[in-house]
Amino acid sequence: MTENQFSWPNRRPEDPAHERLLAFLVLDIQHSPVWAQELAEKVAAVRAGKLREWERSGNAFCLTLSATSARLEDEFDENSPVYTVSLEEFETAVLAWIKHIQ
């Protein structure tokens, strides 16, 4: 992973779900402030109940946000496990990513 120096509060490097989240940020959101900000806005809208669910397909992963979780599916390997983190964990990582790419 090219961003191995990046971390967020309570990141668990040994957790495959956190590794998938890192890969999503690096490969799908990349260093785009526009994409990162849009993602933060969608997380906030889901948390506030303005959106029941939100989905985004990217370069490598499909993200589904719900009121309780962020689900990350590999777009190319249907045998790869689907990983889920809490919406709060996801939001923490996204906000840290925004600071990282600024």
Written as six digits, the tokens of 32 are 């785009």
Indicate whether 4 pLDDT > 90.
no
What b/e readout covers 19-58, taking b as 16+ CB neighbours within 10 angstroms?
A: ebbbbbbbbbbeeeeebbeebeebbeebeeeebeebebee
Indicate whether 1 pLDDT > 80.
no
d(CA 58, CA 85): 18
pLDDT computed for residue 51 by the predictor: 97
Indicate whether 7 pLDDT > 70.
yes
Mean pLDDT of 23-32: 96
d(CA 56, CA 28): 10
